[in-house]
Amino acid sequence: MGSVVISLDAELGWGFHDRDPVPADRIRSARTAWRDLCRLFDRFDVPATWAVVGHLLLADCDAEHPGHPAGPRCCDGAPGAMAADEAWHGRDLVERVLAADADHDLAGHGFTHVHFDHDLMRREFAAAELRAWGATAAAVDVSPGSFVFPLNRVGYRDLLVEHGFDAYRGRQPSRRGRVRKLSDALRACGTPPLVSPSVDEYGLVNVPASAYLFGFDGYVRSAVEAVRGDPVVDRVERALAALDERGGVLHLWFHPHDLVRERDFERVRRVVEAVARARATTDVRVETMAAVADRVRERHGEVSAAAR
């Protein structure tokens, strides 16, 4: 029996703290998309893993963030004409996820989205990011469980255990090069890999990614769509058929800020609809990262890494 996992990297302004200027339009789109996605997942009863930057769980912030590459008070900045709170805080959006009908998993994504192999990242910095995420999550009655590394840069896994996490999204199986031309894109439209979650040397469950839903865009996307429709939806549908036959996990991921235009939301809607249809007509199930981790540990007779 196969399962589908959908994870979202929910970041708002923190996903762009290294950009100058910070793109206010993408953040506005992300806030709208966040609400639209909650309604979409509820409509199809599809639970997802929302990997949320910890600072977004705050209603306000008067503390400094020492050592942050964007400055100790980067959350004072107001991108474009939007209020600073709209860029750096999202307590209202997090509460929408927690109140949803679908049984979502709220996962860690760092406290301020500094990736774990950044030039300024040190062990103490990583520990502080994890500790701060746990403290803010506790305020909304959420305990550490799953973790998604900022920018998918996996590191300091032993610290995940120390701070109560027991699963993470691992790297996607490697592909040769990047999609740069139409011919490359057409070749890349094969079935996304079905992955096999495993327990690593720290006792953490690695739930690898299968495919990023917005891996190519712009001219290449438009050209491929003109030839064969949305290739991403086509790939997902073929992967769902393979999942029913072979089992494994199809782990799809994206960001709310990827949904800028109507056709972006339409892509996600069609993917979620296809997943729900597969669940209804085959043995495919839909799980969160936390549910997969529990199942893998049970199969291996393991307790969670954080409980050790």
- Digitized pLDDT (tens) for each residue of the chain, 308 residues in all: 899 999 999 999 999 999 888 899 999 999 999 999 999 999 999 999 999 999 999 989 999 999 999 999 999 999 988 999 999 999 999 999 999 999 999 999 999 999 999 999 999 999 999 999 999 999 999 999 999 999 999 999 999 999 999 999 999 887 554 444 544 454 455 789 999 999 999 999 999 999 999 986 654 555 555 456 788 999 999 999 999 999 999 999 999 999 999 999 999 999 999 999 999 999 999 999 999 999 999 987 777 766 66
Q: Which of 217, 227, 219, 233 is nearest to 186 (CA)?
A: 227
CA dist., res. 244 & res. 78, Å (int): 47
Domain that residue 300 falls in: 2-307
Here the CATH number for the domain that contains residue 168 is 3.20.20.370
- Number of structural domains (the chain) is 1
| Sequence-ordered alpha helix ranges (H) in the chain | 24-44, 84-88, 91-98, 123-138, 157-162, 182-187, 218-228, 231-246, 262-281, 289-300
- Residue 165 CB: number of other CB atoms within 10 A? 25
CA dist., res. 48 & res. 239, Å (int): 18
Q: What is the pTM of this model?
A: 0.92
Q: Strand, coil or helix: what is 147? A: strand
CA dist., res. 212 & res. 17, Å (int): 21
CA dist., res. 152 & res. 298, Å (int): 26
Output the furthest CA–CA distance in the chain (Å, rounded). Answer: 54
CA dist., res. 291 & res. 152, Å (int): 20
Backbone angles phi, psi at 249, to 5 degrees: -130, 130
pLDDT 10s digits, 6-51: 999 999 999 999 988 889 999 999 999 999 999 999 999 999 999 9
What pLDDT is attached to residue 308? 60
Q: How far is CA 160 from CA 126, 170, 196, in A?
A: 9, 13, 21
Find residue 5's DSSP bridge partners.
251
Tokens representing residue 68 in the block? 């942050």
Task: Report which secondary-structure segment, H or E, holds 285.
Answer: strand 285-286
What pLDDT is attached to residue 299? 86
Q: Is the previous residue joined to 192 through a cis bond, with omega within 30 degrees of 0?
A: no
Q: Are 50 and 8 in contact (CB under 8 A)?
A: yes
What pLDDT is attached to residue 305? 64
CB contact set of 44 (below 8 Å; sequence gap of 6+) = 272, 273, 275, 276
What pLDDT is attached to residue 20? 86
CA dist., res. 78 & res. 88, Å (int): 9
